[in-house]
């Protein structure tokens, strides 16, 4: 058995903090978060104001540079985004070699990693006010193209190339939905909702994927490799895959004759691993301020476009039932950012398996800014300790005696 005292004599004092519940891995100037009061500010600006007044590109600039852009700075940033939107033609062939049902997250992670092979000079580029803007614009713009191409390939449609005339969100929607015989009509309400969703996902301090980006980068790995690892971390249903899992859960409840209690009881059962996806958060213990804005945006877009989705009714009823249930109240489990976001994406026509990709597009400015901050602060290589619980030393047993 483990003799913890003699182990500590050997190793010194080590704190055990599984899941990093109470351990800061870095200092950061990017995002302020108060989980008890439900406050989230990027570079000091409340997300409520940013979501109401800014475009995603503007907020991306803020997160990357620490200041809201002037008109000229924003125009220059947008110009870079348009300039870098195309992928190297060789990369287009990548999309032909994934199986038709390949997950868009796996395509995204692989292809973002490969950007390093086509734009290696970017890795030397650590000047925060010169090449940094260009690198960030290149990555933001190309990742959006990769995301849209992965969707077009998955449905067997010809690729729609980025347009130099369109802004970030319009361009993405056009690449996703325009068809040779059926031109896509860009609706301002959809563009506005997409801007909001991406803004609300743009950074969230040291979450699982951002910590992964920093950890991978701390070894000296290039930006693209670090971001690609962040995409992989985001994929899981407890993190960025949650918006997809929420829709699947709501569909199941709908198909199950709206038997809400069955799902609520299952989530409360400690012998069952099932959870009500879209509820609970590591740091928000009153409410998730992003969820409030998204719920309102959801109502707005449904009203303006005169849409109806039975899943929105299911979501609202589930939230209402959960809000009066002692199990969820005692554990401070409220809807998180992902609970309503998937319903808006559905309304835009974005398929469920693309939802985590949408999350990744939103989180990109945060990942890039956090990676750069880690470099500028010259953080040490990330290397957590462990408390070893196995046997310390055993006699080797030759094969014939085992």
Residues that bind ligand ACO (CB under 6 A): 19, 238-239, 242, 267, 275-282, 331, 333, 336-338
Residue whose Cβ sits closest to ligand ACO? 280
Contacts of 23 (CB under 8 A, 6+ apart): 15, 17
Q: Which is nearer to ligand ACO, 112 or 246 (CB)?
A: 246
* CB-based burial label for 342 (10 Å; 0-12, 13-18, 19+): buried
Q: What is the DSSP letter of 241?
A: T
Closest CA relative to residue 156, chosen from 86, 94, 244, 96:
96
Min separation Cβ 225 and ligand ACO, Å: 22
Q: Which is nearer to ligand ACO, 248 or 377 (CB)?
A: 248
Residue 46 bridge partners (DSSP): 41
Closest CA relative to residue 69, chosen from 84, 54, 82:
54
Q: Which is nearer to ligand ACO, 18 or 389 (CB)?
A: 18
Min separation Cβ 73 and ligand ACO, Å: 29
Q: Which is nearer to ligand ACO, 81 or 231 (CB)?
A: 231
Residue 31 bridge partners (DSSP): 42
Q: Which is nearer to ligand ACO, 170 or 319 (CB)?
A: 319
From CA 309, how far away is CA 377, in angstroms rounded? 47
Q: Which is nearer to ligand ACO, 170 or 338 (CB)?
A: 338
**Candidates 281, 299, 353, 401; catalytic one:** 281
DSSP assignments along 144-204, one per residue: HHHHHHHHHHHTTPPP-PPPTTS-HHHHHHHHHH-BTTBPPPPPHHHHHHHHHHHHHTS--
Q: What is the DSSP letter of 286?
A: S
**Candidates 178, 203, 288, 338; catalytic one:** 338
Return phi, psi of residue 182, to 5°. Answer: -145, 80
Min separation Cβ 25 and ligand ACO, Å: 16
- The answer to whether the CB of 161 falls within 8 A of the CB of 95 is no
From CA 74, how far away is CA 91, in angstroms rounded? 29
* CB-based burial label for 316 (10 Å; 0-12, 13-18, 19+): middle
Whether 353 is a known active-site residue: answer no
Whether 338 is a known active-site residue: answer yes
Min separation Cβ 316 and ligand ACO, Å: 17
Q: Which is nearer to ligand ACO, 239 or 375 (CB)?
A: 239
DSSP assignments along 11-50, one per residue: H------GGGSS------SSEEEETTTTEEEETTEEHHHH
Min separation Cβ 151 and ligand ACO, Å: 22
Return the active site residues: 281, 338
């Amino acid at each position: 058995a483990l003799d913890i005292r003699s182990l500590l004599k050997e190793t010194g004092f080590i704190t055990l903090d599984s899941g990093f519940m109470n351990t800061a891995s870095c200092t950061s100037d990017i995002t302020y978060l108060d989980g008890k009061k439900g406050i989230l500010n990027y570079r000091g600006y409340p997300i409520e104001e940013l979501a109401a007044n800014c475009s995603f590109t503007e907020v991306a600039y803020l997160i990357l540079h620490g200041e809201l852009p002037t008109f000229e700075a924003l125009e220059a940033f947008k110009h870079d985004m348009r300039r870098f939107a195309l992928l190297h033609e060789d990369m287009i062939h990548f999309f032909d070699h994934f199986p038709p049902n390949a997950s868009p997250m796996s395509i995204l992670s692989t292809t973002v990693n490969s950007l390093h092979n086509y734009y290696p000079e970017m890795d030397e580029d650590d000047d925060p006010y010169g090449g940094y803007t260009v690198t960030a614009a290149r990555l933001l713009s190309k990742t959006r193209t990769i995301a849209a191409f992965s969707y077009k390939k998955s449905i067997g449609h010809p690729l729609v190339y980025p347009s130099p005339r369109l802004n970030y969100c319009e361009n993405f929607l056009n690449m996703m939905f325009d068809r040779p015989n059926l031109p896509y009509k860009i609706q301002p309400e959809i563009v506005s909702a997409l801007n909001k969703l991406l803004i609300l996902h743009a950074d969230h301090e040291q979450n699982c994927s951002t910590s992964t980006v920093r950890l991978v980068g701390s070894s000296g790995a290039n930006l693209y490799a670090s971001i690609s690892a962040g995409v992989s971390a985001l994929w899981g249903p407890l993190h960025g895959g949650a918006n997809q899992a929420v829709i699947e859960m709501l569909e199941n409840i709908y198909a199950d004759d709206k038997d809400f209690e069955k799902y609520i009881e299952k989530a409360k059962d400690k012998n069952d691993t099932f959870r009500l996806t879209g509820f609970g958060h590591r740091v928000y213990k009153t409410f998730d301020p992003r969820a409030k804005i998204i719920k309102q945006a959801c109502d707005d877009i449904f009203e303006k476009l005169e849409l109806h989705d039975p899943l929105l009714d299911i979501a609202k009823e589930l939230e209402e039932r959960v809000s009066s249930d002692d199990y969820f109240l005692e554990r401070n489990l409220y809807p998180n950012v992902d609970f309503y976001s998937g319903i808006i994406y559905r309304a835009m026509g974005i398929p469920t398996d693309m939802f985590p990709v949408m999350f990744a597009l939103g989180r990109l400015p945060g990942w890039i800014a956090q990676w750069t901050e880690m470099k500028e602060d010259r953080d040490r290589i990330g290397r957590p300790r462990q408390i070893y619980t196995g046997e310390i030393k055993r006699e080797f047993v030759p094969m014939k005696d085992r």
